[in-house]
Amino acid sequence: MKTADALSSVRIVFAPIFFLLYFVPIWTDCFVRFSAFVMLPLLILVEFTDFLDGFYARRHNEVSDFGKIFDPYADIFLHLTTFFCYAFNGYMPLWILVPIVHREFGMLFVRLVAVKHGVAIGAKMGGKIKTVLYIVSGMFSLAVESAFRLEFADKLPVRTLLEIGNCLYILCLIFAYASFIHYIVAFRAVLKDKNAK
């Protein structure tokens, strides 16, 4: 496995760890404050691997068709895991989560069809913006949850924070589908050009 791909795999390995860090304190009422101190810094470090794998792949000429597929897969594996956690606590509305899950499975299907036609769909600007919004929204929700676990949420304007979180997730949904449409249009153009040759 190339170094860039190994960095991507960190997100896949961390996803179930995050899930346990998030829910074990809820299930057992143990390690509540510990989880609040640990989850956010760890998630920031893991999300940073998304930048590192792309940077390393370009700098060391490790850009590959496998990496173009594996990197977004690792992103979604992590983000959907965290989103389900936030939805459980009501930070992410289900009416936003479900369409996002549908979008990501739809995108996975498009990538599989593209591979069948010998095309590896790389990340485009719309997809990168969507990923940044996923990260920002998730970090925001996790920061609010950490405040509750550290027992100083009563000093915060919780209702306002939840509304801000909802606005961020609405942006996630908008950019998710805008980028999805862009990917489909781009893939159809590439496929049409490929078949014309």
Residues whose CB is less than 8 angstroms from the CB of residue 29 and which lie 6 or more positions away in sequence, other chains included: none
CB-CB contact of 139 with 40 (8 Å): yes
What pLDDT, in 10s, does the model give residues 1-40? 578 788 889 999 999 999 999 999 999 999 999 999 999 9
Distance CA 91, CA 137 (A): 10
Bigger pLDDT: 58 vs 85: 85
What pLDDT, in 10s, does the model give residues 102-161? 999 999 888 888 877 777 777 778 888 999 999 999 999 999 999 999 988 778 898 899
Distance CA 28, CA 89 (A): 16
Q: How far is CA 36 from CA 18, 26, 46, 56, 157, in A?
A: 12, 12, 16, 31, 19
Q: What is the pLDDT of residue 2?
A: 76
